[in-house]
Amino acid sequence: MNLLYRSTRSSAEAVTASQAILKGLADDGGLYVPESLPKLDKSLAELSEMTYQETAYEVMKLFLTDFTQEELRDCINKAYDGKFDTEVIAPLVEADGNWYLELFHGATIAFKDMALSILPHLLITSAKKNNVKNEIVILTATSGDTGKAALAGFADVEGTKIIVFYPKHGVSPIQEKQMVTQKGGNTFVVGIKGNFDDAQTGVKQMFGDRELAKQMDSAGFQFSSANSINIGRLVPQVVYYVYSYARLLKEGKISDGEKINVTVPTGNFGNILAAYFAKNMGVPIAKLICASNENKVLYDFFETGVYDRNREFVLTSSPSMDILISSNLERLIYITAGADADKNAELMRRLSSEGKYEITAGMRDKMSDFYGNYASEQETAAAIKALYEKTGYVMDTHTAVAAAVCNKYKKETNDSTKTIIASTASPFKFTRSVMNAIDAKYDKMGDFELVDELSRLSGVKVPNAIEEIRTAPVLHDTVCDKEDMKSVVMRFLGI
């Protein structure tokens, strides 16, 4: 049966998976959501005998029903190959009573690689399926990781161009160096004078600009997205939650059907929404623990039912979570409102005009599986130091936010359920913050001296992604005001 997708903001005609991937964002500004969440058609015992690639096929075939078996397997095999530095793609490491799901073994050492390795292949296949003749322009805002992972995925992919906007002073030095040294004749990186929410808002405005769409079309271009607003980003993320449960089962760490908790550090809400999808597909997940940094808009939302972005934006040591408008939350709002697009659209209008909205008690009840909390900068640093001193395992700042929140949850509830923590980035991506957390003396070192010292301390080889940028020349140095994003895009495309 064909699974179709609808916009969260209108009851317009449903589209196929490939059409939803191509568009990225619906014409009305809504996000695409499947008409129903499919159930796994293989048992967890069967899945436990499968490789990551085989698991990906079993999960993704249920969502991408207009792809042939051959098309989908081809996309998966091209994505999850030698560009990952571990054979299992997403290893589980036990440390201090929790399992860390390491999602950073791809080309850019962040969890975004898990989905952005396959999105270009899904997109090109979707274009062929729908007889698209235009060149596809990937337009993306990044808080640090999506940008580089998308650039790496789309660099020199025929029939595409990619434009990435990032907050000029809102990413780590390593993150920025990774982006501005990106090769590829079809790549363009722009720093904006503003924060991530400014970049994301500018991108969304361009997606909703009908006049711009006409100009693009007449010049032979059309926009698509690599952000987690694209369903082609979200579906591959569901895979690793299914896979990690199956791995624990295979290794005898849990019994078949035993419930686990999942803790996810999140800003844009996509990564934890993927875990929610996995739970609804049949993975025995009890609590979905939503971990925020000091930009704790999601924590406040789960506490009060009020989403309020009217607050100070805080630059933290976990910059990929420095977000006040959590785009993917809209999908959960729509689902818990009973797929009521009008109700969701009204809440999103309020968010746009007033900066806040409140959900009903009934919707809050449907979110009871979520637990939200946050970690301060001090708590994040303390979590890194404590885990290192106890076990020798070094985690990055985002994973540390999740570990700190996980510990808070356990203390608060006395819940001893086994827990997977999504480890979303390599500590080598945030060396200064990580090393300073371990010992303040390291702050005197240069960025790449710190890289070598981290390798020595952790016993982990410096990832290739870091080695590559030690001496790489800067290829992108464009900086613009947030109001000028559209004109910068048009200039790059020669329109």
Angle at 212 between CA 20 and CA 353, to 5 degrees: 75
The CA R_g of the chain, rounded to the nearest whole Å, is: 21
DSSP 146-169: HHHHHHHHHTT-TTEEEEEEEETT
Q: Which residues of 318-351 are buried (b: 16+ CB within 10 A; e: fewer)?
A: bbbbbbbbbbbbbbbbbbbbeebbebbbebbeeb
**Quick one: which of 176, 380, 387 has its CA closest to 265?**
380
Residue recorded with tokens 């637990």: 371
Q: Please state, in angstroms and rounded to a whole number, the distance separating the CA atoms of residues 68 and 65.
A: 8
- CB distance 200 to 141 below 8 Å: yes
Q: Which two tokens stand for residue 43?
A: 């048992």
User: Could you count the other beta carbons within 10 Å of the beta carbon of residue 13?
Assistant: 8
Q: Which two tokens stand for residue 297?
A: 């808009």
How far, rounded to the nearest angstrom, does the alpha carbon of residue 231 sit from its chain's CA centroid?
A: 11
Question: Which residues on adjacent β-strands are paired with residue 187?
Answer: 162
Q: Which of 112, 148, 177, 287 is catalytic?
A: 112
Is 418 in the active site?
A: no
494: left (phi over 0), alpha (psi -120 to 50) or beta: left
- CB distance 31 to 7 below 8 Å: yes
Sequence-distant (≥ 6) Cβ neighbours of residue 43 within 8 angstroms:
none
Q: Please state, in angstroms and rounded to a whole number, the distance separating the CA atoms of residues 108 and 146.
A: 9
Q: Please state, in angstroms and rounded to a whole number, the distance separating the CA atoms of residues 183 and 162.
A: 12
Instruction: List, by residue number, the catalytic residues.
Output: 112
